[in-house]
Structure 1
């Protein structure tokens, strides 16, 4: 298990928890695009956070479910995972 969440993992989580298909390349190309524009609402993001907590066995930052963009989400979650490593 990596101590960082990649765009590939985020893409897979978006598909698994919210049923939204967004390629990793699209996430790389549009990191500041709002999750809403990709079709991810607050419940979808909450599902992603919950799945990450299960996978990593640790609580994600409280603000993770309020992140607006993939860049913001990955920065927050990865800084938390690195701090806990």
Structure 2
């Protein structure tokens, strides 16, 4: 996967796509799920769409609101 986003970059992308303010600290905390942060499934679809269109993320990545942004970051950086 060619997407290599920092926690700050992923937090900004999530905030931009969902309208929910997310920090890098929240992105890296394994205990914060997208649900916890107020990101619903529709917002998460927007985030995944942006990552697919502009950051080379494959379309077959399965990410649900009960998963953590840290899991998504790990997928993006190849540490999943």
Q: Same fold (TM over 0.5)?
A: yes
Write 1 or 2 for the structure with the bigger share of helix.
1
Q: TM-score, normalised by structure 1?
A: 0.71
Cα distance in structure 1, aligned partners of 2:61 and 2:25 = 27
Aligned residue pairs: how many?
77
Please, which runs of 5 or more residues in structure 1 have no aligned partner?
81-85
Aligned alpha-carbon RMSD (Å): 2.3
Unaligned regions of 5+ residues in structure 2, if any?
Answer: none
1:8 equivalenced with 2:14 (yes/no): no
Conserved? CA contact 2:52–2:59, under 8 Å: yes
* TM-score, normalisation: structure 2: 0.75
User: What is the Cα deviation at residue 14 of structure 1?
Assistant: 1.4
